Amino acid sequence: MKALRWMMLTAVLLAIVAACAPAPTPTPTPQPVVTLRYSNWHLAEAHWEKTIKAAIPLFEKENPNIKVSLEVVSYAEKEAKYATEIQAGAGPDLIHLAGYSIRNFVESGYLYDITPFVNKEPPGFLDQWYPHLVDLFKYQGKLYGLPSDYMAMILAYNKKLFQEVGLDPNKPPKTWDEFLTYAKKLTRDRKGSGKIDAWGFGTVGAIDPGWELRFSPVLLSHGATYLTPDNKCSALNTPEAKEAFKFWVGLVTDAKVVPPGVTTQGAGAVRTQFANELIAMKIGSGWTAPILPTINKDFNIAENLGAAPMPVKAGKTLAKTTTAWYSGWMINKNTKYPEQAWKLLKWLTSKESDQRWFDGARVLSARRDVSGDPEKGIKPYQAIADDKFAQVISAELKNAQINPQLKEWPQIADTVNKEVQNAFTGNKTADAALKDAHDRINIILAPYRKAGETCPSY
């Protein structure tokens, strides 16, 4: 009995001690780790791959429950790949597209509506980007992505080749007439091979999504546009468009300042020609400088690479003289992890990330707080301000126009691309080729016109 009493007393004491002891800390339930699929054509370029692979671990460190799986895609195939996968209910969580096809994706219903996420951000969140770029991702009152790269197309030239023919490397051509004179002088038998082996100018002439970026500045700098302001008709019937088209075709057919085989040359082939000093001038942008040493390690960018605004038609004062390249990040509508995908999208397009992309790949940003906005008194990122090549691109943004943003744009660009090829090869005269492009674009844009509404003939 005595023993039982002791036992009960001990039990009561133990219960009191236990009650007074601090409550055990609840073990936090581990959050599941999700893996986001990140797809980017830049991963196919060595300098970009290095930059991205160095940056992504920083995001993963900030977000320990998110892993990022990097998926490379070719620039030319990305639209086909994404469209196929998304239609099948799959695809990468985050996709990167260029302006060429963004409207196609926005209007096809392939993208996740990020409006609710943006609405939860602090006021003025979107003000960090150039407003006209953010608008390109809006459709029916919803936002489907955020812009990332934003650059003007400029004239890149080889100072060493300029010097070889007695041209002042610090005086690049300012007008198309000067450009032609320079190009003719630079087209020559450089190696003493008994044939022409160096050309003044090289450009994309293949059927290629990058083609439009090289032809558009020529059109704009002659005072022409592809479409009428209401985007309902072709504007290739104007005297300015005809003049620009004939000038462009004449570089190949008459002046012969472009290497043979232009209709098979894509952007990569032209970069190779430039890096190997086969051509002295090309139209490029921020990507030009870092990519050249990856093709030819002996190409001295600091000494030999020059950058200049696009030449213009002499005697014309124009508001827009070049075209702008832009790209954006979007979330696949099929993503299983929209919250996490938004976190990554926001991080990829943040100020710090865009500064990082410039440091590694020399691309300018669609953010005003990175690329600068003189009108708002916003200074650019210091590395951009210090880079001579980037300065030209940045300064040209005010003269740059974005190509028409229609879901039909890839088809319109393809039409003009093919007709330029027809004119380059002599299959059609420049005039006949431009007329056919004009007529076909009007057929493509027919759904935008009301019954009885017609377009001016060529």
By C-beta, is 252 or 307 nearer to other proteins? 252
Rounded Cα gap, residues 329 and 38, in angstroms: 10
Rounded Cα gap, residues 243 and 286, in angstroms: 29
- Give the residue, chosen from 12, 80, 126, 385, that forms a contact with other proteins under the rule CB under 8 A: 80
Strands 142-143 and 138-139: antiparallel
- Footprint (CB under 8 A) of other proteins, residues 152-181: none
116 binds other proteins, rule: CB under 8 A:
no
CB of 104 to other proteins, least distance (A): 5
Binding window for other proteins (CB under 8 A); candidates: 77-85, 315-323, 356-364, 383-391:
77-85
- Footprint (CB under 8 A) of other proteins, residues 81-100: 83-84
Rounded Cα gap, residues 117 and 331, in angstroms: 12
**Residue 37 parent element (H or E):** strand 34-40
Q: Output the six-digit token pair for 396.
A: 């040209």
Rounded Cα gap, residues 422 and 317, in angstroms: 31
- Give the residue, chosen from 184, 410, 429, 449, that forms a contact with other proteins under the rule CB under 8 A: 410
427 binds other proteins, rule: CB under 8 A:
yes
57 binds other proteins, rule: CB under 8 A:
no
Binding window for other proteins (CB under 8 A); candidates: 18-26, 75-83, 327-335, 379-387:
75-83
CB of 105 to other proteins, least distance (A): 9
104 binds other proteins, rule: CB under 8 A:
yes
Contact letters (x/-) for other proteins, 179-208, by CB under 8 A? ----------------x----------xxx
378, β-bridge pairs = 373
The packing angle between helices 211-220 and 239-253, to 10°, is: 120
CB of 409 to other proteins, least distance (A): 9
3-state secondary structure of 129: strand
CB of 437 to other proteins, least distance (A): 11
Contact letters (x/-) for other proteins, 228-267, by CB under 8 A? -------------------------------xxxxxx---
432 binds other proteins, rule: CB under 8 A:
no
CB of 50 to other proteins, least distance (A): 26
By C-beta, is 183 or 390 nearer to other proteins? 183
CB of 326 to other proteins, least distance (A): 19
3-state secondary structure of 251: helix
> In which residue are the tokens 């921020």 written?
286
Rounded Cα gap, residues 116 and 129, in angstroms: 18
Minimal CA–CA distance to 151: which of 7, 336, 307?
A: 307
Tell me the backbone φ, ψ of residue 284, rounded to 5 degrees. Answer: -150, -160
Number of neighbours of residue 226 by Cβ within 10 angstroms: 25
Residue 336 near residue 199 (C-beta atoms within 8 A): no
Tell me the backbone φ, ψ of residue 322, rounded to 5 degrees. Answer: -150, 175
Strands 66-72 and 154-158: unpaired
By C-beta, is 318 or 444 nearer to other proteins? 444
By C-beta, is 207 or 378 nearer to other proteins? 207
283, β-bridge pairs = 155
Count the residues of the shown chain that bind other proteins, applying the rule CB under 8 A. Answer: 33
By C-beta, is 177 or 439 nearer to other proteins? 439
By C-beta, is 426 or 456 nearer to other proteins? 426
By C-beta, is 152 or 206 nearer to other proteins? 206
Q: Output the six-digit token pair for 433.
A: 């080729």
CB of 288 to other proteins, least distance (A): 21
Number of neighbours of residue 320 by Cβ within 10 angstroms: 17
Q: Output the six-digit token pair for 147.
A: 């812009």
Binding window for other proteins (CB under 8 A); candidates: 144-152, 167-175, 365-373, 408-416:
408-416
Rounded Cα gap, residues 341 and 407, in angstroms: 25
CB of 412 to other proteins, least distance (A): 10
> In which residue are the tokens 């704009």 written?
220
By C-beta, is 226 or 381 nearer to other proteins? 226
Binding site for other proteins (CB under 8 A): 79-80, 83-84, 104, 108, 195, 206-208, 259-264, 278, 407-408, 410-411, 414, 418-419, 421-422, 424-428, 440, 447
